[in-house]
Amino acid sequence: MSPIIGEVLAYAESNDLAHLIITMFFIIQVIITLPIRTEYGSENPAAMALSEKIGLGILVANLSQGGLILADVIDAPLLFGCLHLSIVIVLLYVYIVFYKKENAQWH
């Protein structure tokens, strides 16, 4: 949510469409990561396949956003780039440890 506020403020200041697109990018991330009351594990391959895709999508989104901030392409404090990359590391951990395990179960 925090990048949405930052980008909306940046758009209000500069009227640059890029900020609007980045806001859109994060709104989509908010939707895709909305918590839902479901429980599933490796016994439900369909749910696992879908959540794997969602996880990979969020990983790529944060990696690209973090990379662009750290490369100074996007005008945002470098700290936020580091935060995006730390989310990438967490997701990588989840991806490697959770999805590769046979009897994985989320609560």
Partner 1 sequence: MYPAFEILATIIAFTFVIIITYGVFTRQRDWFALGLCCFNIIPVAGELYNYSLDNKLLHVAIIMVFIPQIITTLPVKANYGSDNASAFALGRKIGLSVLVTNLLHGCLILGTALNVPRQFGYFHIVVALIMFYTIVKSNNKESIHWK
Q: How far is the CB of 63 from partner 1 (least distance, A)?
A: 10
CA–CA distance, 53 with 87 (Å, rounded to integer): 16
Minimum separation from the CB atom of position 27 to partner 1 (A): 6
Residue appearing with tokens 């640059």: 16
**Closest separation in Å from C-beta 93 to partner 1:** 19
Considering the complex, state which of residue 16 and residue 89 has its C-beta at the smaller distance from partner 1. Answer: 16
Nearer to partner 1, 60 or 96 (CB): 60
- Distance CA(95)–CA(107), nearest Å, equals 16
Residue closer to partner 1 (CB basis): 56 or 78: 56
Rounded Cα distance between 4 and 80, Å, is 13
3-class state of residue 66 by DSSP: helix
Summarize as ranges the residues that interact with partner 1 (CB under 8 A). 16-18, 20-22, 24-25, 27-29, 31-32, 34, 36, 38-40, 44-47, 49-51, 53-54, 56-58, 60-61, 64-65, 68, 73-74
Neighbouring CB atoms inside 10 A of 10's CB total 20
In the complex with partner 1, the residue whose CB is nearer, 29 or 81, is 29
Query: What is the Cα–Cα distance from 71 to 74, expressed in whole angstroms?
Result: 8
